[in-house]
């Protein structure tokens, strides 16, 4: 079947694509590669991937191509679902014979609900969906495809048995071949990564059990399943040839450092190639491993600290001690490894006092840059189950973003309101960045690099616009 893989347009500047862990409008412009769409696209010969948001492709332009395809597969999320359904309706109006399916965490955990809400959807590929989608595109009868929920000839929704989770990750072709075919790499921008960058997975799944984390609980699982080192390095070499302008590679594995010997082995191979690279890491990597990574091209670690309060870390099953995270961060500073630290406000156990404790913690450990998010109880996560059972989640706020794609504060507690949690994000950013030492560090960075000066000035303007948007949300609430 002629197959279109589509990340549809939604909110302006919305980074909710098939590679984004937090589906929301960012503080500054950022777009992740649509890796979860590109992977099945790589399995379907002559398919096409349209990633509308970063390429600023509008719906009429996509609808004009509807008759070029027999099958369209959209990645959807909780915030974008209603908009994605409208996109399918428009495509089917232009091409009534078009078969339309959905993938993504939302339908992985609630295919029945999604298909009930959207009669226009013909199927949902659940859980790890790569080969499920391939079989649909290959024309295998839907009744025979594992991991598929579909409408039969009578319009009845049928849920086939689950598909076994993959163990041989090397059977997946390079996602970057789809990037080369269908995407403009310069359209993808992450504030803390060099530009242009390339990101992909060297493995799926995460051993940690963080209650809020989306992908491991819905698609990836809690076993870290990895590609062979040789396969990963082969893809890096492919990218070096096909994307010579790449300034940085990012391994988007949930926790690249879950397997330390493998991380060191990959690092040594990357060192031979002379590339700059970064990855996700837990704040417990030993100094000796950090040194191996740094000596072989590691520039930055993306680290989910979440909170500076130990009780909250215990509540979310982070498996981390505050003092271990502090030592890890000091080791990174000593070795010259930059850190982009992520924090979450409004997790179970949060109080006005713990918010201030986390802000003080962030200032003390002083990552190079930070991201502060609101706790988001995505369906399928333990946090969502907790929130529903304890009455922390209001049904009317369950979509997690407002009409502009900006995060709202969906959770509240008897001692901490929606508005107090929401306001804490802006307070956090201001207290962290508006300090003399941090300002001096940013200015010094700008003086040393004209490119960085242009970048930081643009980001500053975008950040202020973002704060104004949030203030509008706060007043509306």
CATH for 217:
3.20.20.70
| pLDDT block averages, 10 residues each, the chain of length 477 | 95 59 64 95 97 94 98 93 95 98 93 96 96 98 98 96 96 98 96 95 95 89 96 99 98 97 99 99 98 99 98 98 99 98 98 98 97 91 94 75 77 95 94 93 85 73 68 54
Pick the closest to residue 3 from 36, 42, 48 (CA basis): 48
Cβ pair 108, 75 in contact under 8 A: no
Burial 6-43 (b: 16+ CB within 10 A, else e): bbbbbbebbbbbbbbbbbbbbbbbbbbbbbbbbbbbbb
97 part of a folded domain: yes
What pLDDT does residue 453 have? 78
Domain annotation covers residue 463: no
Whether residues 7 and 56 share a domain: the answer is: yes
Are 73 and 218 in a shared domain?
no
> Could you tell me if 137 and 238 lie in one domain?
no
Q: What is the CATH number of the domain that holds 7?
A: 3.40.50.2300
Closest Cα partner for 250 from 196, 292, 291, 290?
Answer: 196
Pair 367, 240 in one domain: yes
User: Hey, what are 181's tokens?
Assistant: 């075919």
Residue 50 lies in a domain: yes
Instruction: Find the distance separating the first CA and the last CA of the chain, reported in whole Å.
Output: 47
Q: By CB neighbour count within 10 A (0-12 exposed, 13-18 middle, 19+ buried), where does 344 fall?
A: buried
The pLDDT of residue 213 is 92
Same domain, 287 and 242: yes
Asked which of 398, 419, 434 is the last residue of a domain, the reply is: 434
* Full residue range of the structural domain in which residue 105 is found: 3-159
Using DSSP, state whether 338 is helix, strand or coil. Answer: strand
Q: Are residues 23 and 147 in the same domain?
A: yes
Q: Is the dihedral of CA 216, 217, 220, 225 positive or negative?
A: positive
The answer to whether residue 324 is domain-embedded is yes
Residues 232, 276, single domain; the answer is: yes
> Is the residue at 180 inside a domain?
no
Residue 384 sits at φ, ψ, to 5 deg, of: -60, -45
d(CA 429, CA 380): 29
Contact 224, 280 (CB under 8 A): no
Query: CB under 8 Å to 349, separation ≥6 — which residues?
Result: 309, 311, 312, 315
Count of domains for the chain: 2
CA distance linking residue 239 with residue 22, whole number of Å: 26
E strand or H helix at 332: helix 322-335
Residues 229/231/232/238 CA torsion (nearest 10 deg):
140
State the Cα–Cα distance between residues 372 and 344, nearest whole angstrom. 6
For residue 226, the model assigns a pLDDT of 98
Place of tokens 């955990």: 109
Same domain, 325 and 227: yes
What is the DSSP secondary-structure string of 160-195?
PPPPPPP--GGGSPPTHHHHHHH--GGG---TTS-S
**Same domain? 132 vs 197:** no
Provide the CA 283 distance to its chain's centre, in angstroms. Answer: 19
What angle (nearest 5°) sits at the alpha carbon of residue 120, between those of residues 127 and 408? Answer: 65
DSSP string, 22-72: S-EE-SS------HHHHHHHHHSTT-EEEEHHHHT--HHHHHTTGGG-SEE
> Domain check: are 427 and 322 in the same one?
yes
Q: Which two tokens stand for residue 408?
A: 């709202």
Domain assignment present for residue 444? The answer is no
In a domain, 471, yes or no: no
In a domain, 286, yes or no: yes
**Helical H segments across 64-173, by residue range:** 81-94, 105-109, 111-117, 130-137
CA distance 368 to 302: 10
Q: State the sign of the Cα–Cα–Cα–Cα dihedral 224, 230, 233, 237.
A: negative
Is 139 in the same domain as 242? no
CB-based contacts of 297, cutoff 8 Å, min separation 6: 267, 270, 271, 274, 275, 276, 277
405 and 286 share a domain?
yes
Question: What number of residues does the chain have?
Answer: 477
Kindly state the helix (H) or strand (E) to which residue 204 belongs, with its residue range.
strand 203-204
């Amino acid at each position: 079947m002629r197959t279109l893989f589509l990340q549809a347009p939604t909110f302006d500047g919305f980074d909710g694509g098939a590679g984004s862990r937090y589906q929301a409008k960012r503080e500054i412009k950022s777009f992740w590669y649509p890796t979860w769409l590109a992977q099945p696209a790589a399995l379907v010969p002559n398919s096409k991937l349209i990633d509308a948001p970063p390429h600023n492709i509008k719906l009429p332009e996509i609808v004009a191509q509807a008759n070029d395809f027999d099958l369209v597969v959209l990645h959807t999320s909780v915030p974008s679902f209603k908009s994605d359904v409208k996109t399918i309706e428009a495509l089917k109006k232009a091409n009534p014979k078009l078969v339309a399916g959905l993938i993504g965490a939302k339908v992985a955990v609630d295919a029945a609900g999604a298909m009930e809400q959207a009669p226009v959807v013909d199927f949902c590929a659940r859980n790890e969906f790569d080969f499920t989608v391939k079989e649909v595109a290959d024309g295998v009868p839907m009744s025979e495809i594992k991991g598929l929920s579909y409408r039969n000839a009578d319009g009845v929704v049928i849920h086939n048995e689950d598909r076994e989770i993959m163990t041989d990750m090397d059977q997946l072709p390079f996602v970057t071949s789809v990037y080369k075919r269908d995407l403009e790499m310069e359209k993808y921008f992450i504030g803390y990564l060099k530009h242009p960058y390339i990101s992909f997975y060297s493995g799926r799944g995460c051993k940690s059990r963080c209650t809020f984390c989306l992908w491991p609980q819905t698609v990836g699982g809690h076993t870290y399943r990895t590609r062979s080192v040789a396969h990963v390095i082969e893809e890096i070499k492919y990218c070096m040839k096909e994307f010579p302008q790449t300034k940085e590679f990012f391994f988007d594995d949930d926790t690249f450092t879950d397997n330390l010997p493998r991380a060191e082995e990959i690092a040594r191979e990357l060192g031979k190639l002379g590339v700059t690279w970064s990855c996700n890491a837990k704040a417990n990597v030993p100094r000796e491993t950090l040194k191996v990574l740094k000596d072989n091209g590691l520039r930055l670690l993306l680290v989910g600290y979440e909170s500076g309060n130990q009780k909250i870390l215990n509540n979310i099953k982070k498996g981390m001690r505050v003092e271990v995270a502090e030592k890890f961060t000091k080791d990174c500073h000593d070795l010259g490894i930059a850190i982009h630290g992520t924090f979450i406000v409004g997790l179970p156990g949060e109080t006005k006092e713990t918010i201030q404790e986390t802000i003080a913690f962030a200032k003390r450990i002083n990552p190079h840059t930070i991201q502060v998010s609101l706790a988001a109880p995505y369906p399928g996560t333990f946090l969502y189950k907790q929130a529903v059972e304890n009455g922390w989640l209001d049904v009317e706020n369950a979509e997690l973003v407002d009409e502009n794609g900006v995060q709202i504060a969906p959770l509240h507690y008897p001692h901490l309101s929606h508005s107090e949690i929401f306001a804490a994000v802006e307070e956090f950013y201001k207290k962290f960045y508006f300090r003399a030492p941090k300002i001096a560090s940013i200015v010094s960075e700008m003086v040393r690099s004209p490119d960085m000066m242009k970048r930081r000035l643009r980001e500053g303007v975008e950040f202020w616009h973002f704060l104004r948007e949030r203030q509008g949300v706060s007043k509306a609430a």
